[in-house]
Amino acid sequence: MFPVYILVLVVIWLLCFSIEEFNFKNITPVLGEGIKPVLRAAFPAVLTFPFGETVIMTMFLPVLHSNSKVHAKKVGIAVILSGGILLIANSLMMISTLGPEIYIREFFPLHVAVRLVSIADFFERFESLVILMMVAGVFFKVGGWTYGASMAISQLFKLESNDSILIPLGAIITFLSLIIATNFVEHIERGFEPFMLYVHVPLEIVVPILLLCIAYIRKKFQA
């Protein structure tokens, strides 16, 4: 699905060039008010979501490493870099299309931008492509995180296989998704404000750095 996903994303970017409001000058001035506003906006919000979610790759590295045909380190770095580049490119395109004022107010700027596309007053309503991308993206994202969680549980309790974990884990996730919030706004408030600082930052930044330090120290002592 990845080539199809990228192809659709590139098509959407090309369509954005046809929007009258599109202007790369919306990106400027770069650091017009210094670096501090950028850092305040980036941490913890942008750093943890969506960029920090690439930490899920650490759960798949042991599987890749066990496959002699795959170089786990190269694959992991390639995935993180490509994901980061795509997110940055998409953000630049959306800011160029919508402007910074609208971009920061919208939860789904890509959807809003594509709604502006109108070629010869005939080719319109391309937001269906964005919706399909979002649905497919959520499917793979939930699948990846569920699989990563099942691997963690099976390793924690020393189970031979994580297959028996997937069904009960899926049931728990479904139940929690229904009770966590009654609407999207409530979900954003609960998911961003408390979880971002007290869950995302420790799990996506603090714990990986600690594990890296521990691994480095153990490697030194073993050597």
> CA torsion angle for 211, 212, 213, 219 (degrees, to 10)?
110
Q: Name the DSSP class of 26.
A: G
Cα 177 from Cα 187, distance rounded (Å): 9
Check residue 217 and give its pLDDT: 92
Token pair belonging to 172: 């728990």
Name the token pair of 105: 């107010």
Number of domains the chain is built from: 2
pLDDT score recorded for residue 70 = 64
Which pLDDT score is estimated for 210? Answer: 94
Retrieve residue 194's tokens. 């408390």
Complete DSSP assignment for 64-116: HHHSTTS-HHHHHHHHHHHHHHHHHHHHHHHHHHH-HHHHTT-S-HHHHHHHT
The CB density around residue 34, as the number of other CB atoms within 10 Å, is 8
User: Residue 67's pLDDT is what?
Assistant: 64
Whether residue 155 sits in one domain with residue 58: yes
Asked if residue 223 has pLDDT above 70, the reply is no
Q: Are 96 and 22 in contact (CB under 8 A)?
A: yes
Are 204 and 101 within one domain? no
- For 184, the domain range is 180-223
Same domain, 17 and 74: yes
133 and 191 inside one domain = no
Tell me what the mean pLDDT of segment 141-169 comes to. 87
Give the position of tokens 């479904």: 174
Residue 212 located in a structural domain: yes
Tokens at 90, concatenated: 């998409």
Write out the H or E segment, with its range, that includes residue 211.
Answer: helix 207-222
The Cα–Cα gap between 127 and 19 comes to: 14
Residue at which a domain ends, from 133, 164, 195? 164
Residue type, 121: D
| Residue 171 domain flag | no
The pLDDT value given to residue 44: 79
AA identity, residue 86: L
Banded model confidence at residue 165, pLDDT cuts 50, 70, 90: confident
How far apart are the C-alpha atoms of 98 and 93, rounded to whole Å?
A: 9
